[in-house]
Amino acid sequence: MSKEEKTIKDLLTRVKKLEKTVFAENKAKPKLDNKQIFVGATGGLRLLISKGFFDKKRSFGEIKKALADRDYHYSNQAIQTPLNKLSRIGGLLVGLKESGKKAYAKRK
């Protein structure tokens, strides 16, 4: 095998390894010391749930302030969408109407 053929073979092997790594379909989500990573607005809400923040009813304003206190700065819509998803049937939260405003609490 010539030097050029060996170089091409080595390059093809490297490209295959790279493609396998980059385009792997079942990528595991990153973990840090077996702790869940809370990313994005939904992650911020899940962090609040895990810390017991929703053990009592919370208004949207309280939720937005608690997220901001933990450096999760998002628009109202970016927070409202995951709140709606988390308060669907079978979700982690329940949405309650109180005097025309919606409040959220942990589902029992």
Determine the pLDDT at residue 70: 92
Determine the pLDDT at residue 33: 47
Determine the pLDDT at residue 27: 55
Kindly state the tokens that stand for 70: 């933990």
CA 11 to chain centre: 37
Q: Give, rounded to a whole angstrom, the gap between the first and last alpha carbons of the chain.
A: 70
Asked if 37 contacts 29 with a C-beta cutoff of 8 angstroms, the reply is yes
Spell out the domain ranges in the chain.
Answer: 40-106
Q: What is the mean pLDDT of each run of 10 residues along the chain (108 residues)?
A: 90 90 65 65 92 94 95 94 92 90 92
Determine the pLDDT at residue 66: 95
From CA 46, how far away is CA 82, in angstroms rounded? 10
What CATH number should be reported for the domain whose range is 40-106?
1.10.10.10
Determine the pLDDT at residue 35: 54
Determine the pLDDT at residue 23: 79
